[in-house]
Structure 1
Amino acid sequence: MQKYRGARRNRRKRAPRRRRPRRTFPVFLLFLLAFAATLAFTQGYRPTWLEDVAGGSMSLVGAATAETSGLSETSKRISFAFCHMGGGYNCVVDGDTIWLEGEKIRIADIDTPETHDYRCPAERELGDRATVRLREILEAGTITLKPIDRDTDRYGRKLRIVLVDGKSVGKTLVDEGLARWYEGGRRPWC
């Protein structure tokens, strides 16, 4: 037995209601920006607008103290973090490798113990000490990069002599027993 549905059948069909898209994109975008900013700050990056907030103080971390002209010869006072793996921005990888403003730089005149592919615990311990000391030296003054006869090494790192307040970082690390002068190739530390 069927019920009478005539009144319903004669009604005009309505167009389906469109659903409004959810407003998750701006929330996701805000989360992504916050994550990127947190990552940048932990890698040692300090934006220039912080100088304005601090009243233009030149002692603020990340403030340039001299004009820069690319990576061939740079003079800056910068704060560094540690970045043992992957890329970075103003961070120390190991005793002879740093990231400076997004460029990976190898200190050209020295060799330090490995911290990743070490051959004995003593090499790792000395490499860790060299890494910490390099960060201390770099944060102590104005960094200047001097080019050498080759621009990059076989790993694509920029080869530079690094000076802090005019003193060679390499010489300081060698004098402290944390590095040796680079003579080509890998030599054992054990």
Structure 2
Amino acid sequence: MRRMGPELFVYVVLTLIGLWKLAEWVAPWHGLTEAGCRVGYVYDGDTVELICADGRETARVQGLDAPETKSPGCPEELALGRRATERLRELVAQGPVEISDLGHEKYGRRLIHLRVAGEDVAGVMASEGLAVLYQGDTRPDWCAELGASR
């Protein structure tokens, strides 16, 4: 068996990298939107990272409020928040993902409507008890809702 020369090795590596980049461009990981964005990381049950042509930014899923994982009010909120985060990751991984840009919310994050395989993510998460439907009114006291003591 012949050994691969350094020129052939470099050619093979560059070809593989080029094919990988082409595959990302043609069929990106979580679905390309009309705006050229896709979901990258899922931070928690209602917040995701968008990867767009002009960079990355944090986006809030419109119509949804999930329990906090960063500053929970009680251990029960943290536990439910972690379950909500994992479920959103599962949903996004199932794809295809549709993202509608709704502008920005009061904290400067992009506000998006998120659908996976044609289903509204907010509705799915709420129906499974992992979040509540939210239209900008008063956010729930998750600890009180969960019957937790502080």
User: With structure 1 as the length reference, what TM-score do the two structures score?
Assistant: 0.56
Counterpart of 1:94 (choices 27, 44, 49) is: 44
Tell me, yes or no, if structure 1 residue 188 matches structure 2 residue 141. yes
- 1:143, CA displacement in angstroms? 1.1
Identity of aligned residues (%): 33
Looking at structure 2, the residues matched to 187 and 57 of structure 1 have their Cα atoms a distance apart, in angstroms, of: 39
Match in the other structure for 2:117: 165
- Any gaps of 5 or more consecutive residues in structure 1? 1-48, 79-89
Offset of residue 111 of structure 1: 0.5
The yes-or-no answer on 1:121 pairing with 2:86 is no
Instruction: Provide TM-score, normalisation by structure 2.
Output: 0.69
Partner of 2:147: none
1:107 corresponds in structure 2 to 61
For residues 52-91 of structure 1, what are the structure 2 equivalents within 5 Å? 52-53=19-20, 62-63=28-29, 68-70=33-35, 90-91=40-41
Higher helix residue share? 2
Query: Partners of 2:121 and 2:72 in 1: how far apart?
Result: 22
Contact conserved, 1:58 with 1:65, CA < 8 A, in 2? no
Structure 2 gaps, min length 5: 1-15, 144-150
Deviation at residue 162 of structure 1 after TM alignment = 0.2
| Alignment root-mean-square deviation, CA | 2.9
2:108 to 156, 168, 176: 156
Cα deviation for residue 181 of structure 1 reads: 0.5
Cα distance, 1:185 vs structure 2 = 3.2
Query: Conserved in 2, the CA contact under 8 Å of 1:51 and 1:57?
Result: no
Give, in angstroms, the shift of residue 147 of structure 1. 3.4
Of structures 1 and 2, the one with the larger relative CO (CA 8 A, separation 6+) is 2
What do residues 45-66 of structure 1 show as CA deviations (whole Å, max 9, x unaligned)? xxxx757149959997x35766
User: CA–CA distance in 1 between the matches of 2:31 and 2:68?
Assistant: 32
Q: Which residue of 2 aligns with 1:5?
A: none
1:41 match: none
